[in-house]
A and B are shown apart, each in its own frame.
Chain A
């Protein structure tokens, strides 16, 4: 990058907030995927005005800007494409307000999601979105990717909690969308457009989120099934009986085998599925709901059911689920984490198709994920240094997407498109849909400054 421009950037944010050494820039070339792109310069703005100045400079010099939070994304959304500026928002990390009367919080984009959880829960309030990376990921990144998490089935995803945003537009102006009320239909719903826009339509500089009262009790059931269809049917019946579990996680046979091999928890290797269900709410409600769940599981031929209500006992039941991530990478080092999602009723069919795909391409493909919302997380476990295998992975991924779409599902439930799913976008959106997206992008970002090369 031109020395003159670097100096201008330094003038805006101060020398301590700019990284230009190759060794440092390399550390901003990645996210949670295996894709890479090294930025020319890494910049840490400290306030909205600095973001405005950087974006204006980028427009006048025609330099692409790649907004970034903690860099934990799983779609390559924050990875720099054609050099340019990595705009790291982690320094703007203040919780500005937690309002118990209006049930909302106002935060800067660099606030760590788990940190917000802790702070609101101290006041007996609850911010439900819980992406797996919540101990490190930032609120700004969650908004940009519209992050989900295991609690999404009962409580919804990030977009269901965003009331309002402050955004620096791609041409460097400050815009406020939405506000501090649950109801707001004034104008287009720009808050929802920006939420999940993957950094292409604006840089988020302030977020107002809705909070709800924190559920007081939790009860957990771990259920083992000999037959996958019985597990799937259990899920359907539980929901039709009016019980919406806060967590409804499924592990398939391959996942069970990996976990057992690694942890020796005594999981049955001949079982086809394990369901982990957790209900939350009042004492009476959770007691009633867990009883209903127990009855349904028994009627649907479960082999074994364990129920827990204290924290320690519940943690024991969670142990198997928590051990999944580390267990499956023991097979091979590279994890390609997909999040193709299908309607709930299609879960057994999707799992069957995933097995066929795994067999066809001779790949390790454990399935574990959020059964309540059909977000199954098929994970291909491969070795990125094995070129031939990675070619098979690519073919398998494309067939997984095809299967999900055929079953009425979507390419991405919660990771976003980024660069990983870009080639498949038209399959789902069609030509008209894709064109619509591009038209919006061109209209608000005429110089194609913000996160170019992403989504489409």
Chain B
């Protein structure tokens, strides 16, 4: 059964269809099951006992980016993205998770060591020449589900986890602020240069950084409706962060950030509520708390910005990254992107489970990036950045997607 608040929301949806104008997946498919009000109607039928969970419904409810555009624009204030997540939870309770997800959640996410091993194996695969061999033979193309294309989503990875490469404390003599850094899995395992940039920018601004023991934020489980795993991971993170003597908890990943903001609702604990108040996106931290000054060199490179869904609705979440990019002038010349806040189609593992649809959504982004004439598209969410780079490469574009913090770090003269 859906929780009470979502049952009440069911009644609020008048089926006006306004969501059609805002749903990236409806734009591509033109089909009602893939738009918010269709899902609301199906949830109502499930609640009323006219439908029971089956493969078709599981597929329909997996076809949602959770980008929240429908909720943001609903005249009646129906939060369909949250209802979809509640429905997925219902689905997991009724039928369990698909076997792949179940294994990933139960046997990988809960174990940092195993995640790292996977990272190392992937790095070995890329570096050993095995990747070249497999791509060259065309063997990947023989597999179903577009394995050849999906395999390219993952950028070249380092193999050494970020958190293993840096000390747990930066150890400044007389810091003006102390922060704990929640790195997120992608920065830790795939793009450690983003983490290095965070450390460089914060240290050069005399901010002490502590990198505590930490787990996956839990969003893959949360989005899939696997609440027990999500709660386990949230509780572990709270456990390791609650006793730290820090002013803020910063993150470079918009998705981890928004998940942390949900910990109080998820765990219903006082510790979670207290910690959620300290959580801050790195862009907002740099602009609103540090108000950093930059003295960039003149490179004159055009840069534009893509809004991650998980950051844009937070106060300051739209303005802070843009403000940082503007402060990088004349090193980077900031240009606004058309439909900058439209979802890129990544949506966690959606770009693996629904590869073609995800790429169609991303192509709108690729087009507007091309129209902006920018050479770099900055963003503030590692999974958006992976998706953007993959889609840009697919389209033959030379534009590169990077994290805002990487650009900021480049503009700071290193003391070392």
Contacts and interface: CB of A to CB of B under 8 A. Distances in A.
A329 B76 contact: yes
Interface string A133-147: 101110000000000
A23 B76 contact: no
Given A72-B17, A325-B75, A326-B74, 4 more contacts: A70-B17, A72-B18, A133-B17, A333-B8
Q: Which 3 A-B pairs have the closest CB atoms?
A: A27-B32, A333-B11, A27-B38
A30 B76 contact: no
Interface of A: 19, 21-24, 26-34, 44, 70-72, 90-91, 112, 114, 133, 135-137, 325-326, 329-330, 333-335, 383-385
A21 B57 CA distance: 10
B11 A133 contact: no
A282 to B, nearest CB: 31
Nearest to A72: B17
Interface in B46-82: 50-51, 54, 56-57, 60, 74-77
The binding surface of chain A is classed by DSSP as loop
25 contacts: A19-B31, A23-B33, A23-B57, A23-B60, A24-B31, A24-B33, A24-B56, A26-B50, A27-B33, A30-B41, A32-B17, A33-B15, A72-B18, A90-B30, A133-B18, A135-B18, A135-B21, A136-B17, A136-B20, A137-B17, A326-B76, A326-B77, A333-B12, A335-B14, A385-B11
A325 B73 CA distance: 12
A328 to B, nearest CB: 10
B42 interface: yes
B76 A71 contact: no
Contacts of B142: none
Given A333-B12, A384-B11, A70 B20 contact: yes
Contacts of A90: 30
A391 B133 CA distance: 72
Which of B12, B30, B32, B41: most chain A CB closer than 10 A?
A: B32
A171 B12 CA distance: 40
Interface in B343-401: none
Contacts of B12: 329, 333
B364 to A, nearest CB: 15
Contacts of A23: 33, 42, 51, 54, 56-57, 60
B260 to A, nearest CB: 29
B100 interface: no
A389 to B, nearest CB: 13
Contacts of B75: 325-326, 329
B14 A27 contact: no
A418 to B, nearest CB: 14
Given A26-B41, A28-B32, A72 B51 contact: no
Nearest to B34: A27
Interface string B111-138: 0000000000000000000000000000
Contacts of A70: 17, 20
